[in-house]
Amino acid sequence: MSLTAVEIHNLTVTYDRRPVLWDIDFSLPAGHLIGVVGPNGSGKTTLLKSIMQLIPSSSGYIRLFDQPLEEVRHRISYVPQRESVDWDFPVSVRQVVRMGRYRRGNLLRRLSAQDKALADHAIEQVGMTAFADRQISQLSGGQQQRVFIARSLAQEADLYFMDEPFAGVDAASEDAILKLLSSMKEAGKTVVIVHHDLQTARSFFDWMVLLNTRLIKAGVTKEVFTSQNLQEAYGGQLTILSQVSDLVQEKDFPIREKQYRDKP
């Protein structure tokens, strides 16, 4: 029996009395790459923020490795959307990544040589060693995303939540990030990723969570990624629904939302 990394029961989250997530109930096994997909406004980012207690929930409970977040926070890493970060802040790549070595309650301590070595190794893992002393404002979107992931890696967590790590990145960065995520899975890590591109979702993830305010389906990708489930989640946003699976597989269907397509 595999270890459960995430368990969510009867989770409801509302904004201005309007439900964004409604009675969500699922569990996720450890050691998988898990995609969270659904149309705009379906609650994907809200789900991650609820798990990390960045926003309050109206009802339900969340357990990570069968514990509340506060008991296992040191084992959890969160990578928010790149657009939510002030990239003009005067700090270098190395300084950002070293922030991952601090823990709540020890923010004033000096980093050890081991901490610095772990941060440098994380920078190397994402292919950014040559940019270690560069200001983050001087980086491309894909490079900035790699830095954020390196910071997360420096935490040496067991469970990672990432909100749109592939958004706005170039093809080389997307390939580098995907290879890194695959190696994390091989090392037994659990990575939960909010993702908008159905063209790549089926090949990227071995587990998926399909949302549209309520849970449509959670499970292994081949069971979740069906025309019926996609129709239920996306409704009128999909056309020629009977051909969705074939079109996505052939990459002949413009399912990726415009604001998440790669930027030049």
- DSSP letters of the chain? -PPEEEEEEEEEEEETTEEEEEEEEEEEESS-EEEEE-STTSSHHHHHHHHTTSS--SEEEEEETTB-HHHHGGGEEEE--GGGS-TTSS-BHHHHHHGGG--TT-TTSPPPHHHHHHHHHHHHHTT-GGGTTSBGGGS-HHHHHHHHHHHHHHTT-SEEEEE-TTTT--HHHHHHHHHHHHHHHHTT-EEEEE---HHHHHHH-SEEEEEESEEEEEEEHHHHS-HHHHHHHHGGGSSSGGGHHHHHHTT-S--S-GGGSPP-
pLDDT tens digits, one per residue of 139-151: 988 888 889 889 9
Is 180 a member of any domain? yes
At 107 the pLDDT is: 53
The pLDDT of 105-114, averaged and rounded, is 72
Domain of residue 83: give its range: 4-88+157-257
At 6 the pLDDT is: 97
At 42 the pLDDT is: 92
Percent with pLDDT over 70 in the chain: 86
Is 63 a member of any domain? yes
- Mean pLDDT for the chain overall: 85
In angstroms, rounded to a whole number, what is the distance separating the alpha carbons of residues 15 and 71? 27
pLDDT tens digits, one per residue of 2-19: 699 999 999 999 988 889
Q: State yes or no: pLDDT of 233 exceeds 60.
A: yes
Is 130 a member of any domain? no
The pLDDT of 152-168, averaged and rounded, is 91
- For residues 231 and 238, the answer to whether their CB atoms sit within 8 Å is yes
Percent with pLDDT over 90 in the chain: 56
For residue 224, the domain's CATH number is: 3.40.50.300
Q: How many domains does the chain have?
A: 1
What's phi and psi for 192, nearest 5 deg? -110, 120
Q: Which of 100-104, 160-164, 207-211 has the lowest mean pLDDT?
A: 100-104
Q: State yes or no: pLDDT of 75 exceeds 90.
A: yes
At 22 the pLDDT is: 94
At 236 the pLDDT is: 62
How many CA atoms within 13 Å lie on the side-chain side of 129? 8
More confident position, 179 or 259 = 179
pLDDT tens digits, one per residue of 36-45: 999 988 999 9
In angstroms, rounded to a whole number, what is the distance separating the alpha carbons of residues 32 and 156? 16
Is 242 a member of any domain? yes
Q: State yes or no: pLDDT of 221 exceeds 70.
A: yes
Is 17 a member of any domain? yes
Is 127 a member of any domain? no
Is 264 a member of any domain? no
Query: Between helices 141-154 and 113-125, what is the axis angle to 10°?
Result: 140
**Which of the four pLDDT bands, split at 50, 70 and 90, describes residue 34?**
very high
At 61 the pLDDT is: 92
Is 251 a member of any domain? yes
